[in-house]
A = this chain, B = another copy of it.
């Protein structure tokens, strides 16, 4: 950020009065521009004994497998964001079961919500964001080709929890040092 988006004056980085962190501020119109973590929401869709994964068609991690998930938009709930992203990335209509993994990813300033979801029918297809969409049984999971640690965590917990038939919420913090 170099210029004030309100009046086009050059930005200064300083600690505003009453604050304790440096912010992008405008010396002319006094606007303060806060930058905050973003929320990512998505699903772990399950059909019978299989889970749905998408092969990413876009960077980062193009060509790697991921759960359908993406940035939450203004005006929606985390549940709505998860459903929308699953439709956008996999053309799949799912029913949310429960919030399953909730991860603060501090080194990229994201909070990620993954919902366990039921895919009622094996209906899905590729999209602008997914080169390939398919169902995987546990033995077929491409563990070395997963896009993100959050995907690996969700799948690991899912297959462990499935043995017991209970799926408690997992709260996780990733700092980039793992």
Contacts and interface: CB of A to CB of B under 8 A. Distances in A.
Nearest to A33: B5
A10 to B, nearest CB: 9
Given A1-B6, A3-B4, A5-B11, 8 more contacts: A2-B7, A20-B88, A21-B73, A36-B71, A37-B39, A77-B104, A79-B104, A99-B171
Interface string A87-129: 0100000000001001010110101000000000000000010
Nearest to A24: B5
A173 B77 contact: yes
Name the interface size band of chain A. 35 or more
Interface of A: 1-8, 11, 18, 20-21, 33-39, 71-80, 88, 99, 102, 104, 106-107, 109, 111, 128, 169, 171, 173
Contacts of A6: 1-3
A39 B8 contact: no
